[in-house]
Structure 1
Amino acid sequence: MNRFDEEEKGLLESFEKGEWQSVNDEERVKTLQGYARAMMSENQQVTLNLSSVDLGAIKAIALKEGISYENLISNILHDYVNGQLAELKK
């Protein structure tokens, strides 16, 4: 499952083409490493109240996808906040 947005895909393609160069500015490197650490910090726990019907449906979808229902909920929320969640018509 590829979860990269268009900007991330562009960055990956650029990197794979060898268009990136090392930075020799130690202060800049430390600043960027700090940003990376902040972005990769541990996840925070959230408590949600869901109806048993919704939770059952989420668990069924997660089982089909081969992931935990917690990861599915996290993926759904991530896609929503990044504007990537598409509405499904039944």
Structure 2
Amino acid sequence: MKHDKEEKYILDALKSGKMKLSSPSKKEIEAITSAADNTFKKDRRITIRLYDHDYIGIQKKAMEMGIPYQTLISGIIHRYIEGDLKIKAG
């Protein structure tokens, strides 16, 4: 595995004893756990209408990926909202 400059610096500091790992506090663990829970919490249900061929296509793609089709649709929407998925002008 290749490491970048910062990763090499951290690994060297750990090996040489210049840096030591500490265990997170109970409060930090609770905050991390809460953030993780909220990241994957889906709390809105929507209904959409699709063309039959689009629905079949989504199901096929999801099956190829080994995920539920609702997860694929949710992921596509999330990627679009985050700016990772662009619509081609044309």
TM-score by length of 1: 0.52
Rg (Cα) greater in structure: 2
Cα deviations by residue, 1:11-45 (Å, 9 ceiling, x for unpaired): xx8xxx88xx8999x8xx7xx68x84994454211
User: Number of matched residues?
Assistant: 71
Percent identity, please: 29
> How far did 1:47 drift?
0.6
Instruction: Give the RMSD, CA atoms, in angstroms.
Output: 3.6
> How far did 1:77 drift?
0.4
**Other-structure match for 2:65:** 65
Q: 3-state SS of the aligned residue for 1:63?
A: helix
Q: 3-state SS of the aligned residue for 1:46?
A: coil
Q: Which runs of 5+ in 2 are unaligned?
A: 1-6, 12-18
Q: Which runs of 5+ in 1 are unaligned?
A: 1-12
Q: Which runs of 4+ in 1 moved over 6 A?
A: 21-24
Letter in 2 for 1:53: H
The CA distance in 1 between the partners of 2:62 and 2:82, in whole Å, is: 21
**Other-structure match for 1:56:** 56
TM-score by length of 2: 0.52
**Other-structure match for 2:15:** none
